[in-house]
Structure 1
Amino acid sequence: MKPFEYTRLSTDDLSSDTALYDTTFLAGGTNLVDLMKYGVEKPDAIADIGQLPYDQIEEFADGLRLGALATNADTAYHPAVKNKYPVLNKAILSAASSQLRNRATNGGNLLQRTRCYYFYDTAMPCNKREPGSGCAAIKGFNRIHAILGTSASCIATHPSDMCVALAALEAKVHILRKGATLVMPFDQIHRLPGEHPEKDHNLEPGDLITHIELPNEGFSQNFEYLKIRDRESYAFALVSVAACLKVSAGKIEDVRVALGGVAHKPWKLKEVEHEFIGKEASTENFKSLAEKLIKGAQGFGTNNFKIPLVKRAIVRALNNALNPS
């Protein structure tokens, strides 16, 4: 591991406009430390943000505010999350192991990097790790890789379960930028790879996530988080679906579907969801929604199976949300 300069930030340090630009933030460290051990991340300076006052989970009139430094475990088991936002509770508890959830933070979860085999293997070309070197996954073993929103430069996927639920809930992210607070819609946080897969998100150097804001509507009655993986625990999703419904007299009043394991970011198309408002909440309409949501999906060989799999998963998740157990 490369030597680095370590500092521990206080709230006073956040008033500086320049001190944080060339610094890598450390919170739980469950992803960053691994990447440093593998030689993928080689920061010159690390700023420990664990002492900053962003670890609270607070209810307010219009929703819930999740501190960026609150752990995934504390978030999942918080009464307001369990009762009002159960799709988020289920998504978080499907992720990683209990030990990691006790350490990993909400802000870190948003910014974790892909689990692509070639990204972690520094002997292999990877445009995400070394821009311009190529993408070994496209013609390699790509079973876990993306089928939507890919580019000639990258077919990696975003690994988070929590982010899929947050995308479905249409959360907002509070960011501290140069001493001022910026609120960014969740769907604007992450990027598709395009020609710059090394850029996972739209944050700027020095930006610090402080809170995640959940809206008042949590879809507590009709929801599902379906995760399909190679083993029941401690495995990343081959395909995951966060499905949320509001139904009245058999008609869809609101529908949210976000996908994980299929793209460089949580995949959600609001324009597709809007097409089904007012339609019957039926398996046939769910099949139609699934077709529209993954239109243009492309496999790369060993991940071709994901295309029919995700269609079935969407329909199953929506039917489960309609009749939750």
Structure 2
Amino acid sequence: MAKAIRMTRTGGPEVLEYVDVEVGEPGPGEARVRQHAIGLNFIDVYFRTGLYPMPLPSGLGQEGAGVVEAVGEGVTHVQPGDRVAYAGRPNGAYSELRIMQADILVKLPDAIDFETGAAMMLQGLTVQYLFNGTYEVKPGQTILFHAAAGGVGLIACQWARALGVNLIGTVGSREKAELAKAAGAAHVINYNDEDIVARVLDITNGEKVPVVYDSVGKDTFTRSLDCLQPRGLMVSFGNSSGAVPPFSLGELASRGSLYITRPSLAAYVATRPELEARAADLFGMVQSGKVKIDIRQRFPLADAAQAHIALEARRTTGSTILLP
């Protein structure tokens, strides 16, 4: 038996139940992992509320790090005793022990501890594919990145600085502005005090930016489009303020033939070689010291509901982990 978070219905944080679950032996293609740390991400909220549908009852969570206890038939890339980390579906990371598909596991370098491994995989791989897959940023470019003081945002600020990219980050408070600036943002816009579009025009001398990375959704979508150069790319990769409402494609034409994409990590690590290459790039950035994973909140696994409350209230900065 192991402790885990389970939910039988969608809704608020109160639907998260801390219960005993039975964990058996891994089947073909599976591994049993004893988890040492678990990552908390906004996508967990989307599943909990039902914005992203999933079969119920269900576990929750898509990111963790721990040690392989056993593997099923056909699994050769990891073995019992290996330190591993992962990010991706299916849900179920909120657990002391879990049976999972082994194909999403990657070996965690000895120089990276379990807490860092759990906090970095989903967010770090997201930045990796955003900057190297969805749109390849180049030294000297100026880009716009919303929620720059969040877990993904702080990694993006550091990664951009390492690449010589001028990142304009948006935040909602003076404290968060200081965090983003310290992490490497070239410019920071506090959207509660400043007009995002006007500030972007000012910073870029009226040229705007070639790409906007927007994980906020409804509250920033139109302003993000207004910050783009003709033929610029709008990367909408999250909905922390709510889903983007339907809009006319003519909105893209009227702003200068804009492009838009709604990427997800799964499409960028769809094959084993892709996953290993992106993970190796992420591990390299962390081990070099160019990207540091800033874990600012730790909650016991039993307090997952409290962690969700803090996350949704935007009281968190950097990365948040759950500890079994």
| Shared fold per TM-score greater than 0.5 | no
Q: Given the two structures, how large is their TM-score scaled by the length of structure 1?
A: 0.25
Q: Which has the higher helix share?
A: 2
